[in-house]
């Protein structure tokens, strides 16, 4: 997705959470300084494939057992569940919120790691990114892309994973480990998951696909943009 298409939605997210665009831009610029251009041919493993976009909800382990996807994109701590179940991760998406060792281990194994910088994680970007090998790191932003820092659309790690897989040509997306109405998440996470649902609703319309994970929710989520 082009940033011009995403920008009005980004502005609504900023307004809803009270996030500051200039802080996102500063974080993006720090990430640009700490990284080198990512060779996007590394994402071609997703092209034409049925890609599982793994979320960190409580059903992930069981959903993985039942999944017939060709490829796995793991969002944040979902990658730890994949690792524990010996499910290989093809692409890892993170804002470095969880275990920083996961990003290091996956990048060391050559797995593409999409590292996201935003206004509230710049210190983690500064401490973790210099430890990662250059080639597998795909730097991302939710603000306007600059230099080699990319924005494929999306907000939370999970829905950004879906927008990235879409960009990489995935033929079908499924969503193991996604629970939008999760009683165990706090109010902030709940709000973020609402946005994730809206963003996935937008993406399924753009792709002319129906994501089963949204069944029963569509009447309830405000359409974007
Ligand atoms: N019930 C759920 N609880 C947590 N994450 C979920 C759930 N359902 C889906 N997800 C997706 O899984 C992703 C990874 O979740 P995790 O809790 O590891 O992330 P996080 O680092 O806090 O993510 P984010 O910062 O993007 O909110 C989330 O970004 C979200 O898109
Ligand atoms: N500024 C800012 N941006 C974000 C944040 C956040 O907490 N602050 N959280 C995200 C996903 O959890 C994605 N983007």
| Token pair listed for 166 | 């879409």
The answer, yes or no, to whether residue 100 has pLDDT greater than 90, is no
HSE-CB at 179 with a 13 A cutoff on CA atoms is: 15
Q: Whose CA is nearest to atom 12 of ligand 1?
A: 55
Contact 103, 138 (CB under 8 A): no
User: 156 is written with which tokens?
Assistant: 């939370």
Per-residue pLDDT tens for 103-121?
999 999 999 999 999 999 9
Residue 99 has pLDDT above 90, yes or no: no
Q: What is the structure's pLDDT at 105?
A: 97
Split at pLDDT 50, 70, 90, the class of 221 is: very high
Atom 8, ligand 2: residue with shortest CA distance? 120
Whole-number Å distance, alpha carbon 17 to ligand 2 midpoint, is: 9
Rounded Cα–Cα distance for residues 3 and 153 (Å): 7
DSSP letter assigned to residue 69 = -
What distance in angstroms lies between residue 208's CA and the mean position of ligand 1's atoms?
25
Is ipTM strictly over 0.90?
yes
For the question of whether the overall pTM of this predicted structure is more than 0.95, the answer is: yes
% of the chain exceeding 90 in pLDDT? 97
Return the CA Rg of the chain. Answer: 16
Residue 182: predicted pLDDT:
95
In this structure, what token pair is assigned to residue 78? Answer: 């979902």
Instruction: State if residue 10 touches ligand 2 by the CB under 6 angstroms criterion.
Output: no
Query: Does ligand 1 come within 6 angstroms of the Cβ of 20?
Result: no
Specify the DSSP element, H or E, that contains 91. Answer: strand 91-94
Mean pLDDT, range 61-77, rounded to an integer: 98
Query: What gap in Å lies between CA 61 and CA 85, rounded to an integer?
Result: 8
To test the ligand 2 pocket, which listed residue (19, 117, 158, 191) has its Cβ within 8 A of the most ligand atoms?
19
> Region 28-33: what's the mean pLDDT?
98
């Amino acid at each position: 997705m082009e940033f011009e298409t995403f920008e009005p939605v980004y502005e609504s997210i900023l307004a809803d959470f009270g996030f500051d665009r200039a802080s996102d831009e500063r974080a993006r610029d720090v990430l640009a300084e700490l990284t080198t251009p990512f060779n996007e041919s590394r994402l071609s493993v997703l092209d034409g494939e049925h890609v599982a976009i793994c979320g960190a909800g409580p059903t992930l382990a069981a959903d993985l057992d039942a999944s017939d996807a060709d490829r796995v994109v793991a969002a944040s701590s979902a990658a730890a569940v994949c690792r524990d179940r010996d499910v290989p991760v093809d692409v890892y998406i993170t804002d470095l919120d969880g275990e920083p060792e996961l990003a290091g281990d996956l990048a060391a194994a050559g797995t593409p790691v999409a590292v996201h910088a935003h206004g509230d994680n710049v210190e983690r970007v500064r401490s973790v990114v210099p430890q990662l090998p250059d080639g597998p790191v795909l730097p991302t932003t939710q603000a306007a892309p600059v230099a080699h820092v990319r924005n494929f659309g999306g907000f939370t790690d999970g829905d950004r994973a879906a927008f990235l897989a879409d960009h990489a040509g995935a033929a079908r997306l499924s969503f193991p480990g996604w629970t939008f109405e999760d009683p165990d998440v706090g109010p902030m996470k709940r709000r973020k998951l609402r946005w994730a649902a809206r963003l996935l609703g937008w993406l399924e319309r753009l792709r002319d696909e129906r994501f089963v994970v949204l069944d029963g929710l569509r009447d309830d989520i405000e359409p974007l943009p």
